[in-house]
């Protein structure tokens, strides 16, 4: 099994290294990942700048290819030019921070997995919920991630399909309450901006909004992760709103200016 591993936190991120070590139990793992942190870059691609690449050795664990670009660039370039053949699985992560709720749409980690599905490959994004008081254990998280990925595969994950996995934050003696397959929560999180003046009097703003799992709809990824479960959410990349489409397509539209 040939596996492409990428992320959006950069090729040296501890979550990627931990995931690499576990994925070698499944097959041959090739790492093609951003040279630098690309968090919350969303699903961007690089068209108007060249993509610099380098072979880098990370932590004595692997030698991979760093790309001076976005997560989706890494997947496209890896599949088109870098890997010896089309991969059997694409894994993105482990991201430092949960990608649940509307963060699914902001997430570069998820964007890489969706890009792989565009290309007809089976893909999984993996993210770890972080809390300030608890030191993240990526080694332990990667073990649970591998177990969950294995079950996605045995549940029939196939080319063009993509799932996103979120892992709960755990105290050293804790384990997750289980695995829940749940839908994406679509509630907005509260926006807040702090205004400041620069030394020349120009106004600027810091985003001070805090993403919280407290504002969750029942039976969603946000609620299940908050309650200590590993969450699995199968994703689509057809953004068509079906009921609005049916309604609007039945109306008369004219070229009035």
Binding positions for its own copies, 106-125, rule CB under 8 A = 106, 108, 111, 114, 118-120
Q: Considering beta carbons, is residue 60 or 239 the nearer one to its own copies?
A: 239
Positions 2 through 61 that interact with its own copies (CB under 8 A): 39-48, 50-54
Distance (Å, rounded) from C-alpha 25 to C-alpha 22? 6
CA dihedral sign, ordered 34, 89, 235, 190: negative
Q: What b/e string do you get for 89-125 counting C-beta neighbours within 10 Å, with b at 16 or more? A: bbbbbbbbbbbbbbbbebbbbbbbbbbbbbbebbbbb
Q: Considering beta carbons, is residue 60 or 195 the nearer one to its own copies?
A: 195
Positions 173 through 232 that interact with its own copies (CB under 8 A): 175-176, 178-184, 186, 188, 191-193, 195-196, 198, 202-207, 230, 232
Q: Considering beta carbons, is residue 60 or 200 the nearer one to its own copies?
A: 200
Q: Minimum distance from CB of 12 to its own copies (Å)? A: 18
Question: Binding string, 73-112, against its own copies, x = CB under 8 A?
Answer: x--xx-xxx--------------------x-xxx-x--x-
Q: Minimum distance from CB of 29 to its own copies (Å)? A: 18
Backbone angles phi, psi at 105, to 5 degrees: -80, -30
Q: Is the peptide bond before 44 cis (omega within 30 degrees of 0)?
A: no
Q: Minimum distance from CB of 64 to its own copies (Å)? A: 14
Does 172 engage in binding with its own copies (CB under 8 A)? no
CA dihedral sign, ordered 147, 149, 150, 155: positive
Q: Considering beta carbons, is residue 58 or 112 the nearer one to its own copies?
A: 112
Q: Which tokens belong to 100?
A: 């649940």
Q: What is the dihedral of CA 133, 139, 144, 146, to 10 degrees?
A: 150
> Which bin fits 37, alpha (ψ -120 to 50), beta or left (φ > 0)?
beta
Q: Minimum distance from CB of 80 to its own copies (Å)? A: 4
Task: Considering only the stretches 27-35, 64-72, 87-95, 122-130, report the one whose residues sit in contact with its own copies under the rule CB under 8 A.
Answer: 64-72
Does 248 engage in binding with its own copies (CB under 8 A)? yes
Q: Minimum distance from CB of 43 to its own copies (Å)? A: 4
Distance (Å, rounded) from C-alpha 170 to C-alpha 10? 24
Tell the residue number behind the tokens 């430092």, with chain if given: 96
């Amino acid at each position: 099994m040939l596996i492409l591993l990428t992320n959006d936190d950069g090729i040296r991120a501890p979550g990627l290294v931990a995931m690499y070590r576990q994925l070698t139990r499944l097959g041959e793992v090739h790492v093609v990942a951003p040279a630098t942190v690309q968090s919350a870059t969303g699903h961007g691609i690089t068209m108007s700048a060249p993509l610099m690449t380098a072979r880098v050795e990370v932590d004595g664990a692997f030698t991979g290819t760093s790309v001076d670009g976005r997560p989706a660039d890494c997947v496209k370039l890896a599949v088109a030019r870098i890997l010896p053949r089309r991969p059997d699985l694409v894994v993105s992560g482990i991201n430092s921070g949960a990608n649940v709720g509307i963060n699914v749409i902001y997430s570069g980690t998820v964007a890489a997995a969706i890009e792989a599905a565009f290309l007809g490959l089976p893909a999984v994004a993996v993210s770890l919920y972080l809390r300030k008081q608890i030191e993240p254990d990526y080694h332990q998280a990667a073990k649970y991630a591998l177990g969950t990925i294995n079950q996605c595969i045995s549940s029939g994950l196939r080319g063009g399909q993509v799932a996103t996995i979120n892992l709960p934050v755990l105290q050293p003696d804790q384990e997750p309450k289980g695995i829940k397959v749940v839908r994406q929560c679509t509630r907005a999180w509260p926006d807040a901006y702090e205004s400041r003046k620069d030394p020349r009097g120009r106004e600027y703003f810091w985003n001070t909004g805090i993403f919280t799992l407290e504002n969750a709809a029942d039976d969603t990824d946000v609620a299940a992760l908050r309650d200590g479960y590993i969450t699995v959410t199968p994703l689509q990349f057809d953004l068509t709103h079906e009921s609005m489409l049916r309604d609007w397509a039945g109306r008369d539209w004219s070229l009035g200016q």
